Amino acid sequence: MATASKKNLVIVESPTKVKAIKKFLGSGYEVAASNGHVRDLPKSRMGIDTEHDYEPQYITIRGKGDLLASLRKQAARADRVFLATDPDREGEAISWHLITALKLNDQIKKCSRITFNEITKTAVKESLKHARDIDMHLVDAQQARRVLDRVVGYRISPLLWDKIKRGLSAGRVQSVALRMICDREDEIAAFIPEEYWTLDASLNVAGEKKPLVARYWGDETGKKEIHNKKELDAITTELAGVPFEIKEIKTTERTKKPPLPFTTSTLQQQGASALNFSTQKTMRVAQQLYEGIDLKGQGTVGLITYLRTDSTRISDEAENAVRIYIADQYGDKYVGTLAAPGEKKERIQDAHEAIRPTDVTRTPALVKDSLTREQYKLYQLIWKRFVASRMEAARYETTGVDISAGRHIFHVSATRTVFDGFMNVYTDEENVPEKNVLMKGLKHDTKLTFDAFEEKQHFTAPPAHFTEATLVRDLEAQGIGRPSTYAPTITTILARHYVTKENKNLYVTELGEAVNKIMVENFPDIVDLQFTAQMEQQLDSVADGDTPWKKLIEDFYPDLDAAVAKAEKVLEKVTIADEETDVVCEHCGRHMVIKYGPHGKFLACPGFPECRNTMPYYEKTGVACPKCGQDIVVRKTRKGRRYFGCMNNPECDFMVWQKPSKTKCPQCGALMLEKGGKLVCYDETCGYVCDKPEEEE
Ligand SMILES: [Zn+2]
Ligand SMILES: [Zn+2]
Ligand SMILES: [Zn+2]
């Protein structure tokens, strides 16, 4: 029943926002939700006219018919329609599609676009004053991304189905992310640890109970590494009976700058490291905080600003409010000095803001009762980071002491906080200063007496495996993907079983390795980091109105088409899947073939569907187990990470992550492992390393 007063219709993306926005705008406004996209490319065909002008052929998304019919009715009744989908390229495109889907094209005058960064009464009411036309540049940037992703997926995926397994997908950004993980795994596998030693001298200080522990630094000629026990023994022999004396005490004051408020990328990184949230979970919970929380006694209100952003900008209102809050709660000396003008490197037209609380006086403690545990934890993280970002730098004092012993020098240092500044509110692993050591009252003439040495053997560590947090950090640093794509990219490669997560680490699976190999060999551009980063810049240039979107596709598609044609020829001869083995099916006597499952290779009977026999497939390495003499085979952890284990498992528990070599160690006769282009003795105490012989390549 339409009443005379309902003259305006506001359409938002998500139904959870409807209630709050209705309340803010009052009775003259009807509010409805589009439930995300309403039109998209068809599922059954590519839907892009590659013969002519690359025009996308959009269709109504299946299941959205009823919703659109009802929106159409509401729109027809309204005098004005406000399209209030999310404030980014995706949202702009949804609004543009809504105009077509709701048949508003012929009455375009009554239709306008509004955006707000936060679901609060002020922001929503204010947005009506800035109602505008659809920004076709933003829409085009979204169209270009959609079409690029579609042609890559649509043209390359069938090659993977043919060669590896049906249903696999190749995506533009996801393939680069997979490549980064594979490259890192190769680096780790190729890493040869180097031995080094530390030497600590425990020194008794006159008048103190606790000894001072100083670490060997070097000698008069400079800093020195101790590479092995022999070098270490030479030093300790030389130091026998030599007095330890304080040579120099140096005190320096350092400052630590407060962090910037959160962007999508930094929020995902901190969500992972501080709260142990996956990127997907961080985004899900942030979405809830943004869309609105029913606060006891206050109704529904959005607690944070829009969650997809790469801006660290703060609105003037929010800036003033947080400074007043800090002065009030912590004192004037905690209010941060304003950044010098000109320091901002944001794109001018960027209307976005950092992720921040919509009202800083709404402290985590005040809203705790209205939030779930997860919402509370994430809100607290966002609130603290925002407040800290406007606080003064922390200052601390570092005292370094050089202690001489003969011609050798030992070193010890301690850090003391002079002013905690922003760290009063927010610390993360990056800005916690080094641990304090008790060194008060140490002077140049303080007498030290040698007590004991502590010698320790170490090995340099390989680069760390990627985690979700470090992958997001590197994707952003390389300019690959955008705030809206980090989480979906990671979710996709995990869901496709290309990558598996154990503890926090991401490991490539056998399937991921096979897909990456095909991509790297046949589509070097698609998996090239720089190429992908340039593509993102071009998409930005479309959004800025500097490049027509179809130009991107025109420049890209013919090369893709040629690469696909070439790959089809090359791959014709290569069969990874369905390769026949000498394993005979115990049911029907056929030779079993290799297939790819979600967890890697397995053996299947080619007599399918008459014979449905399958068996685990263990690729033999041709190397005997050093424990029991059986074959060493390729195995997978429960989560799909590859390792080399004994055929005789579980009776024999031998396992290594690196591929065993057929060459035995010439020094001790033990097994050798492949690490990149080298062979390394399995026995660490032997330590023999040599180049990998050519015939093993
Ligand atoms: Zn069979
Ligand atoms: Zn064994
Ligand atoms: Zn050896």
User: Distance between CA atoms of 499 and 513, rounded to whole angstroms?
Assistant: 9
How many angstroms does the Cα of residue 526 sit away from the middle of ligand 2?
42
**Residue with tokens 């009030």, as numbered in its chain:** 328
408 DSSP β-pair partners? 219, 405
CA atoms within 13 A on the CB side of 605: 15
Which pLDDT value is given to residue 347? 46
**Residue with tokens 């043919």, as numbered in its chain:** 162
What pTM did the predictor assign?
A: 0.87
- Which one is catalytic: 54, 154, 216, 306? 306
User: Distance between CA atoms of 634 and 640, rounded to whole angstroms?
Assistant: 11
How many angstroms does the Cα of residue 679 sit away from the middle of ligand 2?
21
SS3 content of the chain, % helix, strand, coil (to 5): 35, 25, 40
**Residue with tokens 């004051």, as numbered in its chain:** 253
Which pLDDT value is given to residue 524? 94
User: β-strand 80-83 against 111-113: which pairing, if any?
Assistant: parallel
- Residue 584 corresponds to which amino acid? V
User: Are the C-beta atoms of residues 590 and 611 closer than 8 Å to each other?
Assistant: yes
**Residue with tokens 């922003």, as numbered in its chain:** 422
Q: Which of 304, 318, 306 is nearest to 364 (CA)?
A: 304
Least distant ligand from the CA of 584: 1
How many angstroms does the Cα of residue 576 sit away from the middle of ligand 1?
20
What is the DSSP secondary structure assignment for residue 650, as one 8-state letter?
T
How many angstroms does the Cα of residue 688 sit away from the middle of ligand 3?
5
Q: Which of 455, 449, 452, 458 is nearest to 403 (CA)?
A: 449
User: Distance between CA atoms of 252 and 435, rounded to whole angstroms?
Assistant: 16
Which pLDDT value is given to residue 415? 85
| Largest distance between two CA atoms of the chain | 100
How many angstroms does the Cα of residue 696 sit away from the middle of ligand 2?
22
Which pLDDT value is given to residue 621? 87
682 classed as catalytic: no
What is the DSSP secondary structure assignment for residue 423, as one 8-state letter?
G
Which pLDDT value is given to residue 434? 54
Burial group, residue 687, by CB count within 10 angstroms (0-12, 13-18, 19+): middle
Least distant ligand from the CA of 664: 3
> Which own/partner contact pairs does 28-32 have at CB distance under 8 Å and 24+ positions apart?
30/6, 30/74, 30/78, 32/70, 32/71, 32/74
User: Distance between CA atoms of 401 and 443, rounded to whole angstroms?
Assistant: 10
- Residue 637 corresponds to which amino acid? T
Which pLDDT value is given to residue 489? 95
How many angstroms does the Cα of residue 575 sit away from the middle of ligand 1?
21
* Residues, Cβ < 5 Å to ion ligand 1: 585, 587-588, 605, 607, 611, 613
- Calculate the CA 258 to chain-centre distance: 22
How many angstroms does the Cα of residue 663 sit away from the middle of ligand 3?
11
- Calculate the CA 315 to chain-centre distance: 27
How many angstroms does the Cα of residue 640 sit away from the middle of ligand 2?
21
How many angstroms does the Cα of residue 607 sit away from the middle of ligand 1?
5
Q: How many CB atoms lie within 10 A of CB 366?
A: 11
Least distant ligand from the CA of 655: 2
Q: Name 328's Cβ contacts closer than 8 Å, sequence gap at least 6.
A: none
How many angstroms does the Cα of residue 625 sit away from the middle of ligand 2?
5
User: Distance between CA atoms of 656 and 674, rounded to whole angstroms?
Assistant: 11
User: Are the C-beta atoms of residues 565 and 480 closer than 8 Å to each other?
Assistant: no
Least distant ligand from the CA of 586: 1
- Calculate the CA 624 to chain-centre distance: 40
User: β-strand 394-405 against 620-624: which pairing, if any?
Assistant: unpaired
Which pLDDT value is given to residue 52? 87
Least distant ligand from the CA of 681: 3
* Residues, Cβ < 5 Å to ion ligand 2: 625, 627-628, 630, 646, 648, 652, 654
Q: Which of 262, 48, 279 is nearest to 146 (CA)?
A: 48
User: Are the C-beta atoms of residues 215 and 684 closer than 8 Å to each other?
Assistant: no
How many angstroms does the Cα of residue 627 sit away from the middle of ligand 2?
5
Dig out the tokens for 172 from the structure: 């533009």
Mean pLDDT for back-to-back runs of 10 residues, the chain (697 residues): 67 92 93 95 93 93 94 92 95 96 82 94 94 96 96 93 83 95 93 92 87 93 94 96 93 92 96 95 97 89 95 92 96 84 47 92 96 98 97 92 95 89 83 56 86 94 95 95 92 93 91 92 94 95 96 95 92 71 89 80 87 88 91 86 88 92 91 89 88 69
Q: Which of 648, 671, 650 is nearest to 659 (CA)?
A: 671
Residue-wise over 584-596: b if at least 16 C-beta within 10 A, else e? Answer: ebeeeebebbbbb
Does residue 403 come out as left (phi exceeding 0), alpha (psi in the -120 to 50 range) or beta? beta
Q: How many CB atoms lie within 10 A of CB 650?
A: 7
Q: Which of 262, 371, 364, 361 is nearest to 307 (CA)?
A: 262
How many angstroms does the Cα of residue 616 sit away from the middle of ligand 1?
14
How many angstroms does the Cα of residue 668 sit away from the middle of ligand 3?
4
The length of the chain in residues reads 697
Q: Which of 403, 401, 358, 357 is nearest to 383 (CA)?
A: 357
